[in-house]
């Protein structure tokens, strides 16, 4: 039987109503943050860093694609070990893991395309299938895809695997559309922003399924962030603003650090889960 859960914030209020005491229920801190405006702000910032930092390390520092991939994968592994060992949601650990998985997801797609010659169309299809297979296995095992009750190691493993595939898929699909339509950076950003807006309207106005809406928006924020990063960092002659990957990465990392510091102090995005 799946676990029955009720969500509360840190002051003890139930999501959507007042808390009711239940001596049979134990409350634990969800391992992932609530999906608030802060969540989406950091997510887009992190996807931008995923694009620019990968370019900075591989090109500007001359590490190359393979060395950069190995280095970032090791750092991601260390961050995820800390994330799994944490007793609940710790903002800096969680968002560090997201930034690193954004970089690694980008590098995985870049390796397949640049080093192994796999087409963007095939790469997009493969990661779409991998993501859907992860969701299918997750639901088969846990009878839920809710991110409001990531309170076991198994659920957390499914969660992070799904996130890895969304970043890889978003990279491949974004590059496929950008190259196929030849829109340029700022037009691509507007396109993906419009698609995310359409998902939001479908969810808030027409009752689109919460899980479907969340993961669709999660995938779409990857090419949105990448388009923004490229627009800021690429040379003016190539349609960008010419800030470079170093400056762009530094700006967005500083913005992420500022928001995460605020959330660490206020706990605005933390939630308790009552497990019966």
Q: Report the percent of the chain where pLDDT is more than 70.
A: 89
What is the structure's pLDDT at 12?
Answer: 43
What's the mean pLDDT in 16-29? 54
pLDDT at residue 60 is higher than 60: yes
Nearest-angstrom CA–CA distance, 149 and 262: 24
Residue 16: closest CA among 202, 210, 221: 210
Residue 49, class by beta-carbon neighbours within 10 Å (0-12 exposed, 13-18 middle, 19+ buried)?
buried
Q: Which residue has the higher pLDDT, 17 or 239?
A: 239
The sign of the torsion formed by the CA atoms of 119, 120, 125, 129 equals positive
Answer whether 0.75 is exceeded by the pTM: yes
Q: How confident is the model at residue 65 (pLDDT cuts 50, 70, 90)?
A: very high
Nearest-angstrom CA–CA distance, 248 and 231: 10
Q: How confident is the model at residue 22 (pLDDT cuts 50, 70, 90)?
A: very low
Q: Report the percent of the chain where pLDDT is more than 90.
A: 66
Nearest-angstrom CA–CA distance, 193 and 189: 6
* CB neighbour list of residue 71: distance below 8 Å, 6 or more residues apart: 57, 63
What is the structure's pLDDT at 103?
Answer: 94
What's the mean pLDDT in 16-39? 71
What is the structure's pLDDT at 81?
Answer: 98
Q: How confident is the model at residue 21 (pLDDT cuts 50, 70, 90)?
A: very low
What's the mean pLDDT in 199-214? 95
Q: What are phi and psi of 128, to 5 degrees?
A: -65, -45
What is the structure's pLDDT at 19?
Answer: 43
Q: What are phi and psi of 212, to 5 degrees?
A: -65, -45
Nearest-angstrom CA–CA distance, 36 and 43: 11
């Amino acid at each position: 039987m799946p676990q029955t859960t009720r969500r509360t914030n840190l002051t003890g209020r139930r999501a959507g109503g007042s808390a009711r005491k239940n001596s049979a229920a134990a409350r634990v801190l969800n391992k992932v943050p609530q999906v608030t405006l802060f969540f989406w702000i950091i997510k887009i910032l992190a996807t931008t860093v995923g694009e620019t930092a990968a370019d900075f390390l591989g090109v500007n520092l001359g590490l190359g694609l393979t060395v950069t991939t190995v280095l970032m994968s090791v750092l991601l592994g260390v961050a995820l070990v800390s994330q799994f060992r944490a007793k609940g949601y710790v903002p800096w650990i969680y968002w560090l893991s997201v930034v690193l998985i954004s970089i690694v997801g980008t590098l995985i797609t870049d390796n397949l395309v640049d080093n192994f010659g796999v087409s963007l169309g095939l790469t997009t299809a493969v990661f779409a299938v991998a993501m859907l297979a992860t969701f299918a296995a997750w639901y088969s095992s846990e009878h839920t895809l809710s991110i409001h009750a990531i309170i076991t190691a198994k659920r957390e493993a499914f969660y992070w695997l799904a996130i890895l595939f969304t970043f890889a898929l978003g990279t491949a699909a974004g590059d496929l559309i950008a190259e196929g339509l030849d829109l340029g950076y700022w037009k691509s950003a507007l396109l993906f922003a419009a698609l995310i807006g359409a998902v939001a309207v479908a969810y808030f106005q027409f009752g689109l399924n919460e899980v479907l809406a969340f993961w669709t928006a999660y995938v779409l924020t990857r090419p949105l962030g990448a388009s923004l990063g490229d627009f800021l960092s690429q040379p003016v002659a190539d349609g960008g603003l010419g800030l470079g990957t170093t400056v762009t990465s530094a700006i967005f990392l500083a913005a992420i650090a500022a928001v995460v510091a605020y959330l660490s102090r206020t706990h605005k995005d933390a939630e308790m889960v009552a497990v019966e």
